[in-house]
Amino acid sequence: MSERRSKFEIIFDILKAIQDRGGRIKPTHLLYKSNLSYKRLQGYMDSLLKKGLVEKAEEGRKIKKSVIVLTDKGYEFLANYNKVREFTEAFGL
């Protein structure tokens, strides 16, 4: 059985899923990619929105569809998280 993900790993996975889709993703796709329940994802999304790591936007001409967009701050978080992860792995931590 695998270990449970830490809060930071879950946040990283959410932001990485958005980045992998070109910086914007439909909420349903994010739910599948993050492997979280709807309720847990909503909790994380509320936190990420408040911290400015993601934004909600509308797309489409006739039918508006909600999307989640990665902000510059979100991209910065991903870059710094990767640096820290590489550093800790280099020292076997």
Q: Which long-range contacts (CB under 8 A, 24 or more apart) does 79-85 make?
A: 81/8, 81/12
Domain that holds residue 63: 7-90
Give the number of domains in the chain: 1
* 30: nearest Cα among 38, 76, 7: 38
What CATH number is given to the structural domain containing 84? 1.10.10.10
Residue 70 placed within a domain? yes
Residue 2 lies in a domain: no
Question: What tokens appear for 34 in the block?
Answer: 């993050």
Structural domain includes residue 25: yes
In a domain, 52, yes or no: yes
Which residues have a Cβ under 8 Å from the Cβ of 29 and sit 6 or more positions away? 17, 21
Average pLDDT of span 64-93: 92
Q: Which residue has the higher pLDDT, 15 or 62?
A: 15
Both tokens assigned to 60: 């489409």
Asked if residue 1 belongs to a domain, the reply is no
**How many angstroms separate the CA atoms of 69 and 74, rounded?**
9
pLDDT of residue 64: 84
Question: pLDDT tens digits for 17-69?
Answer: 999 999 999 999 999 999 999 999 999 999 999 999 999 999 888 888 999 99
